[in-house]
A and B are shown apart, each in its own frame.
Chain A
Amino acid sequence: MMAARGVTKRIRAIRFALLSPDEIRRMSATKIITADTYDDDGFPIDMGLMDSHLGVIEPGLRCKTCGGKVDDCPGHFGHIDLAMPVIHVGYVKELKKLLQATCRRCGRLLLTKQQAEEFRDEMEQMEELGGEQDIQFVTKETAREATKRQRCPHCGEEQQKVTLDKPTTFRESGHKLTPKEVRERLERIPNEDLRVLGINPDVARPEWMILTALLVPPVTVRPSITLESGDRSEDDLTHKLVDVLRINQRLRENRDAGAPQLIVEDLWELLQYHVTTYFDNQTSGIPPARHRSGRPLKTLVQRLKGKEGRFRSNLSGKRVNFSARTVISPDPVLSINEVGVPVEAARELTVPIHVQSYNLDIVKEWVKRGTIPAAPVGEFYIPGVNYVIRSDGRRIRVTDKNAEAVAETVEIGYIVERQLVDGDIVLFNRQPSLHRMSMMAHEVRVMPHKTFRFNLAVCPPYNADFDGDEMNLHVLQSEEARAEARVLMRVQEHILSPRFGGPVIGGIHDHITGAFLLTYKDAKFTKEETAFILSKIGVRDLPGPAVKKGGQEYWTGKQLFSMILPKDLSLTFKSSIAPKGLTSLRELKDEDALVVIKNGDVSSGTIDENAVGAFKGKILDKIARDYGPDAAREFIDKATKLAIGAIMVRGFTTGIDDEDIPEEAKKQIAEVLRKAVADVEALVERYKRGELEQMPGRSLEETLEVEAMKTLGRARDQAGQIASKHLGMENSAVIMARSGARGSMLNLSQMAGSIGQQAVRGERLSRGYWNRTLPHFRKGDLGAEAKGFVRSSYKSGLYPTEYFFHAMGGREGLVDTAVRTSRSGYMQRRLINALEDLKVKEDGTVRNTGDTIIQFRFGEDGVDPSRSIQGKPVDVDDILQEVLGEEPSWQERLREQEMASYGLTEKDMNPEVSDEEVEVEEEEPGTEE
């Protein structure tokens, strides 16, 4: 096999082993005997924890072991000879297994020769077929089998029950085993028996799990810090080692002086405690060792474990250079591919430019400018150079003073770190990075002011808004990376999501409202308005007017929108404003809700969320798929600009008076609600008299609840319907709700009509006081008002009890959003850890890094969902239509779309809102940021 470039050695396997006491002493640079660290002059004491044989941390001093200075000496281990053996907490599980699986007298594995032979064979077979995991299965099984046997098959000794008293005490039938006794037993286990248990005795004898010598890490691992006051502050590990040394000393003295058994045992246990907490200060069952201030010490395990541990914070994730972070804000003028970078950031972030003959002159010019070059008239920024890297690798900081001089020295082979300029490619990211669209490549636009800016159409994939969100930016440092980013990561390459094959980038909010205002029914614009709108997309030649009326020339919105469509685009679909369930052609036409595009001309229909919206935009989808990412990017840029032009011309605002309804309607709603409440009262009455007819599979109480919920739910819907009769298409709030820009009709009916039943866990409210929700009601009251029905509307305002119920319902939403996000975050982490090394190979199989097959064909069909048509590799109907030129009937076309539509909304994108919640209260505003 060909080794990768620059790789001379490859890790084939990692072997884990134990350090024997001999090995510890052999690798030790010095034995540590005293707990003192420094003498009065501040020099390390010999054979103390800071002994200069263990390495140097102070500049100027030399290591006594290797003679190196601070940066040369890697540090050396020392050791402490323990007066009495102690158990290593990290191995108690293994120790327990070994004690239980071997004979208490002869140390042999508690299996007959034949059994042992069988297990050994099985293991060998496993090894041949590959699979470290499976070998562990066998050894586990071996140990379990051996533990079962009561009498030793070799010497006949009756076995006793060994238990583990967490964290480190072993007992045999209740009687305590000292670490010394445990060690003696382990020493008796023969080598060949260990192999069957999955232990290689050549590198890991079990008695080494009982410590007789403790390795002391080099001082470089636990450097002391000198405070401003001149006092020395020691590392937590040093503190812990001091404790170990002190107790070790006392234990030795007492034992040698022949002190009473009890005292020696106490000290021994104390030593065990200190050694245990030295390894892991969060061992369950013992109190953590604390600093004088009360802060728990950070010992070995704490250094490695968890989010802030060595693995997750220093090895899996590292801090990087050439990155920036700041608040984000919108800029509809930028292309979706761009990102606005503040001048301050652009001057810090640099791109390495290799000096070659073709660019030598210009690079010299750059360097000459220094770090903050003055921009020529008409421009506000030109890039400078921060560093020049010579051919020998030396870095020279460019300053205003030395710029001229350094520029003269620049020659071929140098690398010059040039500040960002427009068009540089960078990675842009918003946490949490849940999918690949959370990190996309953008082209830089250096701009004044201090925020990162981007097109609003790119908010959905990042899940970003501008209420204080911050984002990160990374400047790529190699030509390969830049090329890859441009080809694979640019925003325009991610318009179609690999998750559901539809667009994730597209119009939101104002874009949709604007598109609606532009195209709804026969919207038309005067010459001035038209010129203003078209100037946004850079059109210079006005097309001919579509309508002439009363001597005035008008351009229709549909005509303007058609200008940005490909000339051969044909499409038929339902607008978002189409009322649900409505299928007759006439009604659709009346509402202008059937979009018909023929050869790039919108002949009817309103352009709204279903046309250009993120997640749902049909035109967007079609263009991205059939005309490619360049065309799609251009379309999104232009469509959003057109929409914004239209909304600027027409003007748009919403306020609470949008929910004004006539007095007559209010009376009707009040009547509907009053009747519903009375109906529930009647239900309760019938329930109490036992006349309620039980529903199949439900108790009487449940029947009542279901009926009441149904009645009240219907009432709210009716109230909403009455209200919406008076809220027509000229109403801004309705425009937003129907076109899919923001809000829903339910939101509106809750503002104008009635808020409706509040629920916790899908049931009417019932908890609080004894047999009632609030003291305002009678005990046992089952009526509508007493159990959380809110008759008022948001506009009219809530009564105190209603307000409280509303808060109860709202609280549930908040609580389980919090619970769900943390839980789904953890699940996501686990899933990613499990899948991160999988990739699709050239032969279409999915394999892991071990090159074993996970899936014989990606997704079983080998189709990339983001390049599929509703999951299928080709859309046969579409191709037939294109080839034969046959036009399917509009009904046929719609039916297909209905069946195949992704039916996805922003809610599906945001895993925080579940379906049940949507039932109860659609789109609670939620807490922002």
Chain B
Amino acid sequence: MKFNVLQHRLVPEHRLLADDEAERVLKALRITKDQLPKIKKADPVIQVLERVHGPIAEGRIIKVTRISETAGISEAYRLVIGR
């Protein structure tokens, strides 16, 4: 049994977006991939997600859903990059 960071109470929910979903997000934000904040492949969260989804390629997008003090729930997106 490996430790799962996603179950820690301080780690927000991370979800891998399907390609069409990612496309929609980019369109809604009117940006290209490179304008997103990044997350490294080596990030413990990605490694946990890889246990579920299999290898996650660079260029995929992760949706992060946080409990926010100001907004209640806030959504953010991150681009997977190497290392």
Contacts and interface: CB of A to CB of B under 8 A. Distances in A.
A860 B36 contact: no
A861 B37 contact: no
A130 B34 contact: yes
Nearest to A130: B34
Given A129-B81, A134-B81, A861-B68, A856 B38 contact: no
A342 B77 CA distance: 56
Contacts of B72: 861
A854 interface: yes
B12 to A, nearest CB: 12
A900 interface: no
Given A852-B34, A852-B36, A125 B70 contact: no
A855 B77 CA distance: 10
A851 B71 CA distance: 24
Given A860-B71, A861-B70, A126 B35 contact: no
B70 A851 contact: no
Contact of A856 (B59, B77, B79, B82): B77
Interface string A840-873: 0001010100011111110111110000000100
A141 interface: yes
B20 to A, nearest CB: 20
A845 B81 contact: no
B35 A125 contact: no
Interface string B44-83: 0000000000000011000000101011101111010111
Interface centre among B70, B75, B83 (most CB of A within 10 A): B70
Could you say which interface size class chain B belongs to?
20 to 34
B35 A857 contact: no
A853 B35 contact: yes
A854 B31 CA distance: 13
A322 interface: no
Interface residues of A, number: 26
A131 interface: yes
B14 interface: no
B71 A861 contact: yes
Contacts of A853: 29, 31, 35-37
Contact of B38 (A131, A141, A860, A863): A131
Given A845-B29, A859-B70, A854 B34 contact: no
Residue among A134, A137, A860 with the highest chain B CB neighbour number at 10 A = A860
A860 B64 CA distance: 12
A843 B58 CA distance: 27
Contacts of A875: none
Nearest to B74: A860
A84 interface: no
A122 interface: yes
B34 A861 contact: no
Nearest to A848: B35
Contacts of B81: 126, 129, 131, 134
A129 B74 contact: no
Given A129-B33, A131-B81, A138-B83, A861 B38 contact: no
A122 B36 contact: no
Contacts of A852: 34-37
A871 B83 CA distance: 39
B9 interface: no
B30 interface: yes
B76 A129 contact: no
Contact of B82 (A122, A130, A843): A122
11 contacts: A122-B82, A129-B34, A129-B59, A134-B38, A851-B35, A852-B36, A853-B31, A854-B37, A857-B74, A860-B68, A861-B71
- 5 nearest CB pairs, A to B: A130-B34, A861-B71, A860-B74, A861-B70, A860-B71
